[in-house]
């Protein structure tokens, strides 16, 4: 690992913008990524996630704005940036006819690491990513999930300060995706990780903090808990009921001011809801209570509230 300054955040962007003709792919993005955290850029396909990563890696020049990675300006010193980062791209780039071990040694050689040292570095990475038992098999015999893990191991061989994982589970089945989460969890706190994804549950499960992006703009940021708690009605109680009359709703509103009719019942937006008070209010009025439960807010709910649309693949 080369020396890198630790003054300030690991990544800092200011009004970062990238245009492709009339298309504004990244639109005034401001991000701060702390050292050692897993930061997720969450948004639908075409939101500007991959373009943002390419800008931060020095693969594209910004149209305007600025960014620093480990203290290095991406426009003024892109070579220094590339020396402290590694990228596992969306497209799994492995040599199919080489083994996992040979792929790692090849990548190490490209980073100027001599062969004996490369071999020593490869073994713990193979173990870390669950590939040790099949390290001698050609990569063409691997499943999609194994190839993705090999791609991440290849990014790690240079011992980077910052690791960019661009849609690391795209194209994987749900079981393989959850398996990949376990391996990414092992990397947390070892380095700064920036993960792009359009899977809401992935960002929720892995990220310390999230920037939600849509049409190239950051529309919300915070930890998964902060984003969900900040949503209107995040702590609401859902009362599913039959034969719910206007009179019953009015009586409930006298106890809890924020009562809203929903399909099949009512939603009470109050932090101190009493099950017994609800029952005592509704049952004497002939209302049959089917269930009373706290609302479980998801990032899908957050994204829907922010954009008016659901996030889909």
pLDDT at 6: 61
pLDDT at 64: 97
Q: What's the rounded Cα separation, in Å, for the pair 252 and 165?
A: 49
In sequence order, what are the beta bridge partners of 151? none
Do 306 and 44 contact (CB within 8 A), yes or no? no
**CATH number belonging to the domain at 11-229, selected among 2.60.40.1190, 3.20.20.70, 3.40.50.300, 2.70.150.10:** 3.40.50.300
pLDDT per residue rounded down to tens, the chain (313 residues): 445 556 689 999 999 999 999 999 999 999 999 999 999 999 988 899 999 999 999 999 999 999 999 999 999 999 999 999 999 988 878 999 999 999 999 999 888 888 888 888 899 999 999 999 999 999 999 998 999 999 999 999 999 999 999 999 988 888 888 989 999 998 988 899 999 999 989 999 999 999 999 999 999 999 998 998 877 666 788 889 888 889 989 999 999 888 888 888 888 888 788 888 999 999 998 989 998 888 777 888 888 888 776 665 5
For 296, counting Cβ atoms within 10 Å of its Cβ (0-12 exposed, 13-18 middle, 19+ buried), the class is exposed
In sequence order, what are the beta bridge partners of 214? 217
Q: Is the pTM of this model over 0.75?
A: yes
Secondary structure class of 233 (helix, strand, coil): coil
Q: Do domains 11-229 and 237-295 have the same CATH topology?
A: no
Tell me the domain boundaries of the chain.
Answer: 11-229, 237-295
pLDDT at 270: 81
CATH of segment(s) 237-295:
3.30.70
Do 222 and 229 contact (CB within 8 A), yes or no? no
pLDDT at 3: 53
């Amino acid at each position: 690992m080369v020396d890198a300054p630790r003054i300030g955040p690991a990544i800092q962007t200011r009004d970062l913008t990238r245009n492709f003709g009339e298309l504004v792919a990244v639109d005034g993005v401001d991000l701060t990524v702390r050292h050692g955290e897993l930061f997720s850029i969450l948004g639908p396909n075409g939101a500007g996630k991959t373009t943002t990563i390419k800008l931060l890696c020095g693969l594209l020049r910004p149209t305007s704005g600025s960014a620093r990675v480990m203290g290095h300006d991406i426009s003024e010193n892109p070579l220094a940036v590339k020396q402290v980062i590694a990228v596992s791209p969306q497209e799994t780039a492995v040599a199919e006819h080489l083994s996992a071990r040979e792929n790692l040694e090849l990548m190490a050689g490209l980073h100027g690491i001599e062969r004996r040292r490369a071999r020593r570095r490869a073994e713990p990475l193979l173990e870390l990513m669950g590939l040790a038992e099949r390290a001698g098999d050609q990569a063409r015999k691997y499943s999609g999930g194994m190839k993705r893990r090999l791609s991440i191991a290849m990014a790690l061989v240079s011992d980077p300060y910052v690791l960019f994982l661009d849609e690391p589970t795209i194209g994987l089945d749900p079981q393989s995706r959850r398996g990949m989460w376990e391996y990414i969890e092992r990397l947390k706190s070892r380095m700064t990780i920036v993960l792009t994804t359009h899977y809401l549950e992935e960002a929720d499960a892995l990220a310390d903090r999230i920037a939600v992006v849509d049409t190239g703009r950051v529309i919300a940021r915070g930890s998964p808990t902060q984003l969900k708690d900040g949503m209107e009605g995040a702590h609401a109680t859902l009362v599913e009921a039959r034969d719910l009359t206007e009179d019953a709703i009015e009586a409930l509103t006298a106890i809890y001011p924020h009562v809203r009719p929903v399909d099949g019942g009512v939603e009470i937006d109050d932090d101190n809801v009493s099950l017994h008070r609800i029952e005592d209010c509704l049952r004497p009025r002939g209302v049959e209570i089917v269930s009373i439960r706290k609302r479980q807010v998801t990032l899908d709910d957050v994204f829907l509230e922010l954009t008016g649309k659901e996030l889909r693949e």
